[in-house]
C-alpha cells in the first residue's frame, strides 16, 4: 500500500509548515533570561502563569510557555489544547499573574 506512506508524509509536512516560530524569533526571552526575571521578582513564576491559564481554559493541556514583551511589559504566551480539542493561546500578565486574553 503506497497510499499510506504518502498520506503520512503529507500529514508530517503539513504539521511542520504550521508550526510556530521559535520563541527567540518572536522576541521572547531565553530560558536563562526568564529565570533571571523570576529570580529578580519582576515576574511571577511560569507555574503560576500556567495555573492561571488552566483556570481560564477548561480541561487545558499546556504545550508551550514563553515569556515575551507585550502590553508595555512582559507577558507569558501560553499555548494549550483546550478540553474541546481546539488550540488556544492564553496571554498572562507576567507581573500580576492575571489572564489578559484567551484566543
- Summarize the confidence of residues 79-101 as an average pLDDT: 96
pLDDT of the residue at 25: 52
Confidence class for position 24, pLDDT limits 50, 70, 90: low
- Summarize the confidence of residues 63-82 as an average pLDDT: 96
Contact between residue 99 and residue 92 where contact means Cβ atoms under 8 Å apart = yes
Domain ranges of the chain: 19-102
* Angle, CA of 69, 75 and 79, to the nearest 5°: 110
pLDDT of the residue at 84: 92
How does the average pLDDT of the chain come out, rounded?
A: 83
Contact between residue 92 and residue 75 where contact means Cβ atoms under 8 Å apart = yes
Q: In what order do the strands lie in the sheet with 87-93?
A: 61-70, 73-81, 87-93, 99-102
pLDDT of the residue at 71: 85
pLDDT tens string 37-59: 999 999 999 999 999 999 999 99
pLDDT of the residue at 23: 56
Q: Locate the DSSP E strands across the chain.
A: 61-70, 73-81, 87-93, 99-102
- Summarize the confidence of residues 1-14 as an average pLDDT: 41
Amino acid at each position: 500500500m503506497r497510499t499510506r506512506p504518502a498520506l503520512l508524509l503529507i500529514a508530517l509536512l503539513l504539521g511542520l509548515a504550521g508550526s510556530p516560530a521559535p520563541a527567540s524569533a518572536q522576541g521572547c526571552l531565553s530560558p536563562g533570561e526568564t529565570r533571571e526575571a523570576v529570580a529578580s521578582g519582576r515576574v511571577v513564576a511560569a507555574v503560576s502563569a500556567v495555573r492561571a491559564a488552566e483556570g481560564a481554559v477548561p480541561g487545558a493541556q499546556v504545550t508551550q510557555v514563553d515569556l515575551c514583551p507585550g502590553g508595555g511589559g512582559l507577558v507569558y504566551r501560553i499555548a494549550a489544547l483546550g478540553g474541546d480539542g481546539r488550540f488556544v493561546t492564553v496571554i498572562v500578565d507576567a507581573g500580576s499573574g492575571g489572564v489578559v486574553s484567551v484566543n
